[in-house]
Amino acid sequence: MNKVMTRTKRRPGTRPPGRHDTRRPGTTPPRTPGAGAPRPAPGDSPPQAPPAEAASRTLLLPPPADHPRPSPPSSPPPQPRPTDLFADRLLAVLSGQRPVHCMLRHTAGRAYDELAWLAERGPLRTRGTRPVIRDIGYYVPRPGAIEAFARIGAGDRLRAMAFRLEQGPDLRWRCTAVELGGPRMPRPDDD
């Protein structure tokens, strides 16, 4: 079996790597000297000073400690894996933090019915300790399909969740099956 573990051991209470709140920028932009100086008109050329005089007017100060030097844009930040996104979404629904209908456009086939059936039983709802995803692993049986599992911890309890993702013709990932330890949803006879 070719299982891949995607999350590593980390200290509790820390934010997972690669998760950044896009609503909160990391730093404020650095201030540039002379930002309030008047700009020359489009046809005007700025007065030229001799090189020695220009160098004596330029004051180079290190940036303040609380303003790190901006790094040049190299590449866009890596996108989270679909297994990580869906594990977080499913946990939020099964623990009662989000309503089931928020997964409607992210599911296909019987997965929504299974999720609604599981959510009404509240298998991951806990008092006090909010459940968190401890570890995620996945297996790729064929291109365009992922079978994943997540270990969910809430206090001293550890639960398992399995789900299947399939990529549609529109290249979007959708959950097609969800299972937790415990009773399963009864299947109708016509399947």
Question: In the prediction, which pLDDT does 135 show?
Answer: 92
Question: In the prediction, which pLDDT does 44 show?
Answer: 54
Question: In the prediction, which pLDDT does 180 show?
Answer: 87
Interhelix angle 82-94/111-121, rounded to 10 degrees, is 40
Question: In the prediction, which pLDDT does 1 show?
Answer: 56
What is the spatial distance between Cα 121 and Cα 125, in angstroms, rounded to a whole number?
9
- Which two three-digit tokens encode residue 11? 């200290």
**CB 95, CB 124: distance < 8 Å:** yes
Question: In the prediction, which pLDDT does 125 show?
Answer: 72
Question: In the prediction, which pLDDT does 163 show?
Answer: 94
Question: In the prediction, which pLDDT does 158 show?
Answer: 87
Q: Look up residue 141 and give its amino acid.
A: P
What is the spatial distance between Cα 76 and Cα 78, in angstroms, rounded to a whole number?
6
Statement: the pTM of the whole predicted model exceeds 0.75: no
In this predicted model, what pLDDT tens digit does every residue of 78-127 receive, in sequence order? 888 889 999 999 999 988 889 999 988 999 988 999 888 888 877 677 77
Residues 6+ apart with CB under 8 A from 186: none
Q: Which residues of the chain have pLDDT under 70?
A: 1-73, 123, 182-184, 186, 188-191
**CB 141, CB 6: distance < 8 Å:** no
